Each structure stands twice: as structure tokens, then as C-alpha cells.
Structure 1
Amino acid sequence: MPVTEMSRTSRIRSNVAALSAAQKPSRGTAAYSRYVNRPLGRRVAAVAAAFGVTPNQATAVSATLSFSGLLLLCLADPSLGVGIAVSLLLAGGYVMDSVDGQIARLTGTGSRSGEWLDHTVDCFKTCSFHLAVLISFYRFPPVEPEWALLVPVGFQIVDMVTFFGLIMMPLLRQGTPAPSDDLTPENPLRTWAILPTDYGIFCWVFVLMGWPTLYFAGYTALFAINALVLVVVLRKWWRELKAMDR
């Protein structure tokens, strides 16, 4: 093996070890992100950093994969093959969404502009995801009733409000003690209970596109669960903020 190849292999191994020791807290993270996406992102980041990939380049790859998947969803006649391709592109984009931050931590190249770019791409993705489903449902109805078009509309609202809350709450918490829930040990079942709210699960629902009725049922079930969780979380956030006011 050439010396340069050996040194790069050694660098990748040291990158994996360094990233394993410098992970973000996993508390409150759903199982897919915790056990699939972050570990995959760690390994991809270790390789990418060894080849000189920057965090912003990783963000650009994430955006390209994600929006390619959404474009395919809008344009292609649904089938099993199309569904698998859409899921792979979206899941790949999600992995790269983890990679940019891990490269930044590994190389010490984090920046406000990079964080802004990452969150802006996330916002575009959140705004576009269920709109792409809506377009697909309109062009290629998975079920007959027209009210089915309301499901992605409702899911879009739920997702946007959730995204806003996840961005806003840390800003409002600045300078205040951590919520009491964050100081108690996490229930080991919680990461699995919130699995339906994980973006990674959204990515893979499209593998059901070969069976339209099942695909619609799965997507609708995710919407219903996420809407219910949002109601619970909004109540929790409101009570937390009222306690801060006192």
C-alpha cells in the first residue's frame, strides 16, 4: 500500500476515534438519529475530512441529495423503484446533514456562517418536504378521496411549527437554569417512543410507494402521531416558559 494511502487510512481511524469522543449529547434524540444517522455520519465525516472536504461542502452535498429526492418525488410516476430511490436520496442527504457539523467539530472550522447555512438548508428542506408530497399526491393520487390532499398540508403545518419551536426554545432558555426534565435520567424507552417523529423515518416511508394504499396509510399515521406529539410538546414548552416568567 502506498505511503500516502497508509497515512490517509491512519488519519481516518484517528478521525473516527476523535469524533466518537466528541459527539453531541444524545438525550432527547430519536432512535434512528441516535443509532443510525449519527454513527453513519461519523464514519462519513472521518473519511471526508481525510480528503479535505469542508463543512460547507458537506452541507452542499446534503442539499443536493435531499432536493434531488424531492424533485424525483414530484416528477416521477410512483413505483417501488422510484420510492426506493427517493428514500435513498433523502436518507443520504440526512447523513450528510450530520457530516457537516461533525467535520466542523473535528477540524475546528465551525463558523457562524456555516451554522447559518446548515440551518437555512434545513429550513428549505422542512418547507419543501411535504409540499413535494402534496404535488405527488395531486399528480398521482395514492387513494381516491380528494381530502387526502389535506394530509400533507396538515403535516407541513405540524413540521414547520415543530421546527420553529426547536429553533426558538434554546434562544429563550439562554441564561436560565436547565428544565428539571433535563436533570433526571432519561427513560431508555423514550428514544424508541419518539421514533415516528424522526426525520429519518420520514425519509423511508417512500419505500411503500409500490403499494399506494399502504403508502398513504403509513404517511397519514406519521402525520397523526406527529400532530399529537406537537400538542404535548407545545403544552410542555408553554409551561416551561410560564415558569421562567415567574
Structure 2
Amino acid sequence: MPTEPTTPRPGFRAAMAQLRGAQKSARGGPPYSIFVNRPLGRVLAALAFQAGLTPNQVTALSALATFVGVGFLAAAPATWLTGVVVAVLLVLGYALDSADGQLARLRGGGSLQGEWLDHTVDSLKVVVVHLAVLVTWYLHLDLATGWLLVPLAFAVASSVHFFGMILVDLLARATRAELALPAPVKTSPGASTALLKLPTDYGVFCLATVLLGAHALFVGVYTLLAVATVGYTLLVVVKWRRDVLALDALRVGHRTNSAR
């Protein structure tokens, strides 16, 4: 009995072209994420597609690379070699984190389980990387105890920023679905705003770990990134509050109009 013909898997170049066509807008994003992480993730997504990997498997590889890097950062001596190894692993983990979503789009769409897994890994990652810095500062650097507050503050700000970003977006989608409202037209911020986001980009932190062998330089650069992230998070929390108040006003107005 003849078998039905199977559709051949697109080649690497075709997969890359398809991924470029489905790429999100680059306007307004942090420069590292747009110009380094997405293109690198695109290559990894195309390779994963050729290898027959699923998005969840790519997420697992991302977690493996990231948390092995975190382990080296926390436990290994603070040398140049350790910094290079950690930076490579964290950059790879971040690129694979981009690749899993791109692979899902290439395969025709992701799953709720995949989205849950991706966000769960991310929520853990954004905290433990800074706790690993705290550990290595305590074990391997000759610093006053007060300096340990820097990675603690960085961990808190990163967690609040990640959770707030996800939650406000979820609340907006739920409100639009409840009120049957169309999605608003997105306006991308300009290049200057994107540059202001650069110090808060996780990829910049990944690259900064290469300086681990130069203790004073690493502490200085990391502290600047921490201050920038804390300041940005405080500002964006104020904006999120305004956004949520606007959503509440929409719901109240809808209920008032429905009661008439």
C-alpha cells in the first residue's frame, strides 16, 4: 500500500528566512536584545528546527546552560577564566531563551505549557543569577559586608520588574477580553528610550560577567547596572499603576453603561 508523501523539512536558509519574516518589531527594545540576542536566537532556532527539537526542549537547554553558568559563577574562583566561561554559558542560555519562542512560531505556534515553562525558568533565572553574584562576592572577593546589599537589591528589582511586566500585560489582555475591546495600537518608543533601557537588559549583565577576573572593575560595572535597574523599575512601577488604574476605569465605565 503506498504511503502518503511527507512534506520535506525546510532547509536552514529557508527556516532563517521564515523566522525573519515572523520577527517581532525591533523598535523600542533594548539594543542588546534586538541586535545580538534575537539574531543569535534565530540561528539557534533554525538549527533546532533542523534537528527536530521542540520548543520545550530548547527551553530545557536554555535552563541547562544558564544554571550551569550560575553554578560556576557562585562556586568557582573569581578569575578571568571563570568569567569567560560564565559569560559564554549565560549568553548561550539567553539566546536559547529567545530561540524557543522563535522555534514555536516556526512550527506554527506554541502551547500554554511551553509558555508556562518558559516564564517559570525566566522567573527563577532573573533572581538566582544575582544570588550567585552575592555568593561569589562573599566567598571570593574582599569586600565589606555592606556591598552584599547590591546583588540583593538587583535580585529584588529584577524579580519585581519581571513579575510586573507579565502581570500588567495579563491584566490588560483579560480586561480587553472581558469588555470585548480590540487590542490598542502599539506605539514604539524612540531610540533614546531604547538606549536608556540598555543597562537594564539581562544580556548586558551576561556580558559584564566576563570582567569577573578584574574584581574592582566587575564590582563597579555590576553596581552601575544594579542602580540603573532599581531606578528603572521604580519608574516603570509608577507607570504600571497608572495603566492598571486606567483598566479599572474602563471596567467601571463599562458596568455603568451596561446598567443604564
Fold shared, TM-score > 0.5 on shorter chain: yes
- Structure 2 counterpart of 1:238, from 238, 241, 244: 241
Deviation at 1:125, TM superposition (A): 0.9
Aligned partners of 1:56, 1:245: CA distance in 2, in Å? 36
Asked if 2 retains the 8 angstrom alpha-carbon contact of 1:137 and 1:149, the reply is: yes
For residues 178 and 233 of structure 1, do their structure 2 counterparts lie closer, same or farther at Cα, with a shift above 3 Å needed? Answer: farther
Paired position in structure 2 for 1:125 = 125
Aligned partners of 2:234, 2:221: CA distance in 1, in Å? 20
Paired position in structure 2 for 1:4 = none
5 Å-filtered alignment, 1:1-246, equals: 11-141=11-141, 143-174=142-173, 175=176, 182-183=186-187, 186-246=189-249
Aligned partners of 1:84, 1:145: CA distance in 2, in Å? 25
What stretches of structure 2 of length at least 5 have no aligned partner?
1-7, 250-260
- What is the root-mean-square deviation in Å for CA atoms of aligned residues? 1.8
Deviation at 1:162, TM superposition (A): 0.4
Tell me, what secondary structure is at the counterpart of 2:143? Answer: coil
- Which is worse superposed, 169-178 or 71-80? 169-178
What stretches of structure 1 of length at least 5 have no aligned partner?
1-6
Asked if 2 retains the 8 angstrom alpha-carbon contact of 1:179 and 1:240, the reply is: no
Aligned partners of 1:69, 1:154: CA distance in 2, in Å? 21
Paired position in structure 1 for 2:256 = none
One-letter amino acid of the counterpart of residue 150, structure 2: V
Aligned partners of 1:126, 1:231: CA distance in 2, in Å? 17
Deviation at 1:198, TM superposition (A): 0.6
Aligned partners of 2:24, 2:147: CA distance in 1, in Å? 38
Deviation at 1:89, TM superposition (A): 0.3
Query: Identity percentage over the alignment?
Result: 44
One-letter amino acid of the counterpart of residue 194, structure 1: K
Aligned partners of 1:179, 1:82: CA distance in 2, in Å? 46
Asked if 1 retains the 8 angstrom alpha-carbon contact of 2:208 and 2:218, the reply is: yes
Give the alignment's TM-score, normalised by structure 1: 0.90
Deviation at 1:166, TM superposition (A): 1.0
Aligned partners of 2:126, 2:135: CA distance in 1, in Å? 15
Deviations along 1:65-113, whole A, 9 cap, x unmatched?
0000000011111111110110100000001001111111101251111
Asked if 1 retains the 8 angstrom alpha-carbon contact of 2:28 and 2:191, the reply is: no
Aligned partners of 2:109, 2:247: CA distance in 1, in Å? 35
Aligned partners of 1:27, 1:177: CA distance in 2, in Å? 22
Tell me, what secondary structure is at the counterpart of 2:22? Answer: coil
One-letter amino acid of the counterpart of residue 86, structure 1: V
Paired position in structure 1 for 2:252 = none
Aligned partners of 2:143, 2:78: CA distance in 1, in Å? 15
Asked if 1 retains the 8 angstrom alpha-carbon contact of 2:66 and 2:89, the reply is: yes
Task: Report how many residues are paired.
Answer: 236
One-letter amino acid of the counterpart of residue 230, structure 2: A
Asked if 2 retains the 8 angstrom alpha-carbon contact of 1:42 and 1:99, the reply is: yes
Tell me, what secondary structure is at the counterpart of 2:11? Answer: helix
Asked if 1 retains the 8 angstrom alpha-carbon contact of 2:49 and 2:103, the reply is: yes
Asked if 1 retains the 8 angstrom alpha-carbon contact of 2:69 and 2:85, the reply is: yes
Asked if 2 retains the 8 angstrom alpha-carbon contact of 1:78 and 1:209, the reply is: yes
Deviation at 1:155, TM superposition (A): 0.8
